[in-house]
Structure 1
Amino acid sequence: MHEYTSMTRVWGLSCPGFPEEVSRARRWTRDILRGSPFAEDAELIVSELSANAILHTASGRDQGSFHLAVAVSAQVVAVSVTDDGGTATAPKVEHQDQDAEGGRGLGMVSTIAHRVVVHDSEAGHTVTAELFTDVRRGGGRLC
């Protein structure tokens, strides 16, 4: 293999911060991962992270947007959502009780994904959820 050739494929999508764009991001992810055993998990993760970006950050304000990336290699399927920031705190997993009506989304993502990483910058937050292809379904998850 040539030193500049990667076996990782990466796709990107930018969406205006409208609620209906969450379904577009979900469909886009499903199309990219068609046939992958991780397609449904990735679609659910993208839905939750995109909705969080619109609901909790400047992405949902006038002229706001969120950005989605899907990376696929032999070892991992990674989905990342970057928001426009505008909040004083970074996204974090909150352990809510079963009857709570909110605050459980990132916890759900961390249960589905093998690893969740949050990167902060002055421009916003990027939440990346990784699904490792070499961990058998039903086995332990590395969260």
Structure 2
Amino acid sequence: MEERTQQITQTERPARRRFPGLPSQIAHARRFVARQLAASPELTTATLLTSELATNAITHSASGQEAGKFEVYVLQAPGWARVEVRDLGNMAESPQPQHRAPYDTEEHGRGLDLVEALSSAWGTEPRRDAMGRRVWFELVWDRGGDPL
């Protein structure tokens, strides 16, 4: 999967947009991803997972502080898409799924569990500019008649 990402990254430019670190911007981030992946059969999954990562960015990083921002990148190829949410960092440790029990009634803590369960692959790493973290997911689908 990483080889495919490197190969595509070298030949195609990702769509990119920066958002203010406000809860109201999560819907805008979802719409941005929806526009980029409109022809994908994984559109609903992509927008749901984008929402989870954007929420984490503004809840658990400096992106949610005054004047904070987060960025969303979308990279796609036939039968494949990768979405990255880049935050401004300040977390002491890398985000991890909580693996909550199905009957746990806690309202928070399931976002990365969803990302892990619904994506083909996902991960987190420091940004190359050392200004925060990027959390990403990839979706793979049967290309069939898919124009992407």
Answer whether TM exceeds 0.5 for this pair. Answer: yes
Equivalent AA in structure 2 for residue 15 of structure 1: F
* C-alpha separation in 2, matches of 1:123 and 1:75: 31
**Counterpart position of 1:127:** 135
Q: Distance in 1 between matches of 2:79 and 2:45?
A: 16
Shift of 1:68: 0.4
CA distance in 2, matches of 1:9, 1:30: 17
In the alignment, what sits opposite 1:47? 51
Q: Secondary structure at the match of 2:92?
A: coil
Q: Is the 8 A contact 1:77 1:133 kept in 2?
A: no
Indicate which of 29, 36, 40 corresponds to 1:25.
29
Matches within 5 A, 1:1-143: 6=11, 8=12, 10-97=14-101, 98-121=104-127, 122-134=130-142
> Does the CA-based 8 Å contact 1:9-1:72 persist in structure 2?
no
Q: Count residues with an aligned counterpart.
A: 131
Unaligned ranges ≥5, structure 1 = 137-143
- Runs of 4+ off more than 4 Å: none
Amino acid at match of 1:20: S
Q: Quick one: distance in 1 between partners of 2:94 and 2:41?
A: 30
Once structures 1 and 2 are overlaid, which stretch shifts more, 93-102 or 64-73? Answer: 93-102
Q: Indicate if the aligned counterparts of 1:78 and 1:128 stay in contact, CA closer than 8 A.
A: yes
Name the aligned partner's letter for residue 118 of structure 2: I
- Which structure 2 segments of 5+ residues have no match? 1-9
The TM-score with structure 1 as length reference comes to: 0.84
Aligned-pair identity in percent equals 33
Cα RMSD, aligned residues only: 1.9
Deviation at 1:103, TM superposition (A): 1.1
1:9, 1:73 within 8 Å by CA — same for their partners in 2?
no
One-letter code of the match for 1:69?
Answer: Y
- Give the whole-Å Cα distance in 2 for the aligned partners of 1:59 and 1:19: 11
